[in-house]
Amino acid sequence: MISTGDAHLSFTLDGHTHLTVQCNDKIISQDYFDAGKHKINFGHGLRKDIEIKIYKKGAQLLENKKVSNQLMRIDELIVNGIDCLEGKPGKFKISNNFYVEDHTLDTDELFLDGMWSKTLPYFDYFSDVPYTTVSENRFDLNTFENVDIALFGASFLENGDEVEIEDRWFHKMANSLKCTYQIYSVPGGSNQQVFRLYKEWQKKCKSKIVIFAPTTFSNLCMCIEGKPTMYNVNRKLKELLKDDIDTVQGKSVRQITDTLFWSGLERVMALQIPLLHNFFSSIDKKSKFYVMPSIFAERKFFSKTILHKFLLPEWDYDQSRQHWEEKTAYPSVLDNQKYFQKLITKTIIDRMKKYI
């Protein structure tokens, strides 16, 4: 199990500059750096916010009124494989420059002396939602059963009821492996619900292979006044600014939105990667585990991180354009057939045989 996260900071200097770099007020580097490109690697604790600070000093006003050691450009802040600077610059408090008044900028290009900071908020994505928000009379605990392959996800597994079961990729896969399977899905739900469904199922049941098809991480299930309510934090809705308390998180909808929507899903997901790895690894000890993200745009959270070892091959159809134009984001019969063939070509089916 992973006990600390992994991060690295890359930057470029145009002159000899003194820097103090901190992560959560712990010094990870303090030295003079020459002009050129540099990279600092460091770890971070789990289940808490991360604040990166860089104290820059050494800028001098020359006789020609130019400034030496003027520019530090922060090129990357990669946390657990995810770029946490894209579209969201840090804050640079310019101070202690006698020829410039103190002020603050949103920027990753640091002129003069001052302190740059970037905060990545932690969100407890693994708080268990009540099982009643998962079942909704869909799954009785007594109907859970042992199978060779158990699949957990949202509507992508259901295929929107547009493709007959015998034409779906997992049905073809099970036939090829001559084994049993069962789908446990929460259409229109959140990954919190998918995770909770698996946790309830595994208390009584076993399988040789478990496959997760997680939905978008921007979908959240909250319990407001005891009533389960689904929110998508990527949508600018009035409902996301309510002061009503979500009893799962113990925070208001507004507070949760401030963390997820305004900070950006990439920044929040960066701190989830080690936790997802630990969760997936715990499943992998009981059953051979695979993950197939059903939202293709979020596949980067898996393919560019330590989670890639669990990944099934990607689909080849255009989820964002082709199928949305047809008012569905789900694969067709032909798409399912192509994906099944891909599992064969990539030898996934052959590798699964040893677990069945």
- The Cα 34–Cα 36 span in angstroms is 6
Q: What CATH number labels 5-120?
A: 2.60.60.40
Burial zone of 195 (CB within 10 Å; 0-12 exposed, 13-18 middle, 19+ buried): buried
Say what the pLDDT of residue 59 is: 83
Report which of 129, 125, 103, 99 is spatially closest to residue 114, judged by C-alpha positions: 103
Mean pLDDT of 321-327: 52
- What are the sequence ranges of the domains in the chain? 5-120, 132-353
Q: What is the mean pLDDT of the chain?
A: 89
Task: Indicate whether 295 pLDDT > 60.
Answer: yes
Percentage of the chain modeled with pLDDT above 70:
93
Does domain 132-353 sit in CATH 1.10.8? Answer: no
Q: Among the listed ranges 192-196, 274-278, 329-333, which one has the minimum average pLDDT value?
A: 329-333
Give pTM, 2 decimals.
0.90
Q: Please tell me the predicted confidence (pLDDT) of residue 135.
A: 72
82 or 227: whose pLDDT is higher? 82
**Confidence at 214, pLDDT banded by 50, 70, 90:** very high
Per-residue pLDDT for 324 more than 50?
no
Residues 318-347, mean pLDDT to the nearest whole number: 81
CA–CA dist 152, 148 (Å, integer): 13
Express each pLDDT in 32-91 by its tens digit.
999 999 999 999 999 999 999 999 998 887 777 777 778 999 999 999 999 998 778 999
Are 127 and 192 in contact, with CB atoms under 8 Å apart? Answer: yes
Residues 6+ apart with CB under 8 A from 227: none
In sequence order, which residues have a C-beta less than 8 Å from that of residue 163 and are 6 or more positions away?
330, 331, 332, 333, 336
pLDDT at 346 over 90: yes
Question: Per-residue pLDDT for 273 more than 90?
Answer: yes
Residue 157 binned pLDDT confidence (cut-offs 50, 70, 90): confident
User: Higher confidence at residue 223 or residue 177?
Assistant: 177
Q: Please write the tens of the pLDDT for every residue from 176-189.
A: 999 999 999 888 88
